Amino acid sequence: MVMYAFLALAIAAEVVATSLLKSTEGFTRLWPTVACMAGYAVSFVALAQGIARGLQIGVAYAVWAGLGTALIVMIGVLLLGEPISATKVLGVALVIAGVVTLNLGGAH
């Protein structure tokens, strides 16, 4: 079960890091850039640790990328004033459906 804790940490760190990208202003602002890069570093280390502890790489990466994408879209809409559309909702639903499908077919 520790592998899932590492995966959750990897997703959370990636979402925080990606949320900070705009504030880096193209990596020209030092502290937001440092925080962003640290978040990505934590994310990749945690993802690697989860895989090292038994997660299948394809499933782990799909969950990491899929949930990260869905959460970033939600943060963009709720906190960053990005518009929501039916196409955006459909796209996120398709990403989640793909992750679920990979888990059903590859987690055994």
pLDDT at 25: 97
Q: pTM higher than 0.85, yes or no?
A: yes
Segment 33-75, tens digit of pLDDT = 999 999 999 999 999 999 999 999 988 999 999 999 999 999 9
Cα 95 to the chain's mean position, in Å? 12
The DSSP string of 36-97 is HHHHHHHHHHHHHHHHHTT--HHHHHHHHHHHHHHHHHHHHHHHS-----HHHHHHHHHHHH
Segment 77-100, tens digit of pLDDT = 999 899 999 999 999 999 989 888
